[in-house]
Structure 1
């Protein structure tokens, strides 16, 4: 035992007081088994093992091994289990059949995968201390009823586990009331809960101020869908991040007022990374030969996927033009925003008899686009 401990201690530098306390702990009667087990079987560092063994006492491995087996059976890795034990030492002595498995099985039954559970519970192990019947089931049910189905509730909790830890009324309820009172439509509220619940919960005390700021930018009708996107953008960006995006657009000739006009038209254009802004602008200006003002008139195109939609469709569009096959007057913006099914039906299928290779050409351009980087 002492030899094993010595190797553990020699493996990393410790101050003398810590080392003496660890040796004292490991060589005393009752805590020694717990300390040794936590280090050798659970992978805890000596410091963490000392912390945990000072808070829980066990003299056999039966209960700890049952707990570890229960967690591993639900997809938890050894490092995740060690992290949970450090945060909640009492877990090592929990009753798996009564405390752990019913909760884990319930969460799996409503749609959480093993990796979901491992990530969520590693981040907040106290979730397992909440009552299944009095807390987990009713709060998941409340969120499910609000969002319409289990899948949407699972998506929201994946992004914001605190909803399930603290409960619906303590987390989602307050900001939903503010949004409703300000005229945001229910469909957009549901979108914000699914997509931005973490930010909405964290900033709920400032939400009225954020809404006033958003309205002042030109979004004066909270009932419009783009108002929710604008709130999301304003909440999610610091002033420095906002300025970097303004600078990215200015590199292509936009003024600050231009960027703000584009934001009001299509708020998604300010939620993009600077890299995405530069890449899309670079493609339209350098490869397609457009002026940057084209995207100022149609800023919603900025939010489309460059690799999956913009590049392959634009290159295919140029192919049709060069071969005299572009007979419709449909504009490029419509060509880029219609669904894939409509695109194939309107631009590929009608020409397959006279140019049967067109479908292969389009697929090839899609494949090439995913491997091409825009300077």
Structure 2
């Protein structure tokens, strides 16, 4: 018995190339044409081609070619097309003129550019299986009415295609009701839906608990604008990441209570990375000579760009201070938080007579931070 088994194993290789193994395990009634087409014309791997060809059957390239050409004409790359077919096999046999073109044209007409459309469809190709008249148009219309314009609706859907995939009532309506019932202000709800709806939906089953948790952290007024920012900070962070950020602040002398106090003043100070916490703290303490308590009093500064905002404007502060034109460091918070236009008007232009080099210095630092050549 052992002898005959040995002879069998010698005649039959234990390891076959991937493609041969896949073909050998394919169902007998699967047309080999579909498998070959998916590999050779659509760029699918043998594994993916087998998966798709076991779900759709075709013996000519007429319909698949038409589908592929429609996608290509709308700016989809080969890898995006193969991704769409792998995720949603029925689309390879869709009717281009009746199923695909009207939906792609509609999405273009409401403001989705080619650069928006291809990644969105690739991420959620089942959008193209939904009814244009019963799902896509009504959903987009309700979202546009809620957010106020086409552009905002496009932004929301681009960031969370499931709105269009599942419909307004099953997604936005449900989340908005929870937030409204808990007193979150309407403008904050609109911002959350427009920019962060995917996060909200991922935590939908726990939203009410999250709202209560944030109230317990010291945000006792859900109608305040910063309440929504605090929600995102908590939703987007694991417990371990939260602890690592508290530890980063502790290295500069902040206690946990200090960090929580700063968080309540400016929730964004806990949304930045550990690396940025260390870099901004290091700049103010080591380069500017401030105590870390200065940032505890003004935690908003932690969220500003170090290279594009803090560094160039602190150079102005130092220059003005050296000429006796900036009396206290507390004027720095205004200098750092106002717009570029106001910064020039209030802190640069009035002092050009005394410090004519100030304007060139500011412009040079700004251009360097933006990665642009100095004019």
TM-score (norm 2): 0.90
How far, CA to CA, are the matches of 2:329 and 2:116 in structure 1?
A: 48
Alignment of 1:108-187 (within 5 A): 108-187=108-187
How far, CA to CA, are the matches of 1:327 and 1:216 in structure 2?
A: 40
Is 2:107 the partner of 1:107?
yes
Task: Encode CA deviations 1:148-173: one digit per residue, 9 max, x unaligned.
Answer: 11111111112111111001111111
Aligned-pair CA distance for 1:370: 5.5
Partner of 2:12: none
Give the 4+ runs in structure 1 shifted more than 4 A: 327-330, 368-371
Q: 8 Å contact 1:229–1:267 — kept in the other structure? A: yes
Q: 8 Å contact 1:316–1:365 — kept in the other structure? A: no
Helix, strand or coil: the match of 2:211? Answer: helix
Aligned-pair CA distance for 1:16: 6.6
Aligned-pair CA distance for 1:330: 6.9
Q: 8 Å contact 1:66–1:96 — kept in the other structure? A: yes
Partner of 1:292: 292
Helix, strand or coil: the match of 2:170? Answer: helix
Is 2:32 the partner of 1:21?
no
Partner of 1:68: 68
Partner of 2:95: 95
How far, CA to CA, are the matches of 1:266 and 1:327 in structure 2?
A: 26
Is 2:230 the partner of 1:230?
yes
How far, CA to CA, are the matches of 2:230 and 2:140 in structure 1?
A: 28
Q: 8 Å contact 1:182–1:222 — kept in the other structure? A: yes
Structure 2: which 5+ runs fail to align? 1-15
Instruction: Give the count of matched residue pairs.
Output: 356
How far, CA to CA, are the matches of 1:204 and 1:183 in structure 2?
A: 17
How far, CA to CA, are the matches of 2:67 and 2:87 in structure 1?
A: 15
Judged with a 3 Å threshold, the aligned counterparts in structure 2 of structure 1 residues 320 and 369 are, in CA distance, closer, same or farther, namely farther
Comparing 59-68 with 321-330, greater Cα deviation is found at: 321-330
Partner of 1:306: 306
How far, CA to CA, are the matches of 2:17 and 2:250 in structure 1?
A: 52
Partner of 1:259: 259
How far, CA to CA, are the matches of 1:287 and 1:368 in structure 2?
A: 19
State the superposition RMSD in angstroms.
2.0
Comparing 173-182 with 352-361, greater Cα deviation is found at: 352-361
How far, CA to CA, are the matches of 1:161 and 1:84 in structure 2?
A: 14
Partner of 1:44: 44
How far, CA to CA, are the matches of 1:39 and 1:368 in structure 2?
A: 48
How far, CA to CA, are the matches of 1:34 and 1:202 in structure 2?
A: 37
Alignment of 1:205-244 (within 5 A): 205-244=205-244
How far, CA to CA, are the matches of 1:327 and 1:191 in structure 2?
A: 39
Partner of 2:6: none
Partner of 1:201: 201
Q: 8 Å contact 1:31–1:54 — kept in the other structure? A: no
How far, CA to CA, are the matches of 1:52 and 1:175 in structure 2?
A: 35
Partner of 2:10: none
Alignment of 1:312-331 (within 5 A): 312-326=312-326, 331=331
How far, CA to CA, are the matches of 2:113 and 2:267 in structure 1?
A: 34
How far, CA to CA, are the matches of 2:274 and 2:370 in structure 1?
A: 19
Aligned-pair CA distance for 1:15: 8.3
How far, CA to CA, are the matches of 1:85 and 1:323 in structure 2?
A: 67
Judged with a 3 Å threshold, the aligned counterparts in structure 2 of structure 1 residues 19 and 69 are, in CA distance, closer, same or farther, namely closer
How far, CA to CA, are the matches of 2:199 and 2:251 in structure 1?
A: 30
Q: 8 Å contact 2:156–2:193 — kept in the other structure? A: yes
TM-score (norm 1): 0.90
Aligned-pair CA distance for 1:351: 2.4
Aligned-pair CA distance for 1:328: 9.3
Task: Encode CA deviations 1:27-53: one digit per residue, 9 max, x unaligned.
Answer: x8x813222211111111222222222
How far, CA to CA, are the matches of 2:355 and 2:253 in structure 1?
A: 40
